[in-house]
Amino acid sequence: MAGLSVNVDHIATLRQARGVNYPDPVAAAVLAELAGADGIVVHLREDRRHIQDRDVHILKQTVQSKLILEMAATDEMLRIAMEVEPNLVTLVPEKRAELTTEGGLDVISHATHLAQAIDRLHDRNIPVSLFVDPDPAQIEQARHIQADVIEIHTGAFCDAIEAAEKDAAFSKIILAAKTAYQLNLGVNAGHGLCYHSIKRFKGLKEIDEFSIGHSIVSRAALVGMKRAVSDMLKLIRDL
């Protein structure tokens, strides 16, 4: 059975929208774990648009399952990762102007740089995952530079509208998962997965864990709406 790591970035997005101290991604992480999450994921971006350094440090002390830190392979982020020592670092490409991580790493073109980052993290006994598009050549290169895990970018599959395009994107995910599994890499998958698209993964046993954020935080906002409004109404009626 595959696991689920919950990405709480967008709880921090809501907080940052107002520049206040709530909702706290640390509180969301506790609730996600109480609901059975196998891990908590945060992406500390260079521009700190959602998760802040303080979140990562507190999560390291409070997460009971495992803390996965997504980050770019920059000196600044490597320094933070080595300080925090999360249970897994997922290296991702990062562009300032993007809304969210757009594509997987080009492990082939950036092999030397990524290999150095992996070595530095391994020196601290931190396992490393590389976020890659479902491309066997990228996955073989990830193995070659000693990555421990790959995370397959599921965005193209989730975004595809036409059935044929969706089927083709899913076939690539199957091939990527099987390739990584045969290479003894851990296999995670994520980006854009929602309550519909996840169903397609039934029986794909090579995937160890899904990393899901936006759809879960979105559903939390809606399933919690009735309770939140009635809590406020009670207070107003008591005025």
Give SS3 for 29: helix
Tell me which of 10, 50, 70, 206 is the catalytic residue: 70
Q: Should residue 151 be labelled a site residue for ligand PXP when binding is judged by CB under 6 A?
A: yes
Contacts of 230 (CB under 8 A, 6+ apart): none
Site for ligand PXP in 98-117 (CB under 6 A): 100-101
CB of 56 or CB of 193, closer to ligand PXP = 193
Residues pairing with 212 in the sheet: 6
* CA neighbor of 132 nearest in space, from 166, 156, 165, 112: 156
CB of 60 or CB of 214, closer to ligand PXP = 214
SS3 content of the chain, % helix, strand, coil (to 5): 50, 15, 35
Q: How far apart are CB 43 and ligand PXP at their closest, in Å? A: 5
CA distance 217 to 5: 13
Q: Is 191 a catalytic residue?
A: yes
- Contact range with ligand PXP by CB under 6 A, out of 20-28, 52-60, 135-143, 211-219: 211-219
- Contact range with ligand PXP by CB under 6 A, out of 16-24, 81-89, 171-179, 190-198: 190-198
Q: What are phi and psi of 141, to 5 degrees?
A: -65, -35
Q: Is 43 a catalytic residue?
A: yes
When binding is defined by CB under 6 A, the residue of 131, 157, 170, 201 that contacts ligand PXP is 131
CA distance 62 to 86: 12
- Reported in sequence order, the residue ranges of the chain that DSSP labels E, i.e. its strands, are 3-7, 39-43, 67-71, 88-91, 128-132, 149-153, 186-190, 209-212
Q: How far apart are CB 102 and ligand PXP at their closest, in Å? A: 9
For ligand PXP (CB under 6 A), the number of binding residues is 19
Tell me which of 10, 43, 50, 153 is the catalytic residue: 43
CA distance 89 to 100: 18
Site for ligand PXP, rule CB under 6 A: 7, 9, 43, 70, 90, 92, 100-101, 131, 151, 190-193, 211-215
Catalytic residue positions?
Answer: 43, 70, 191
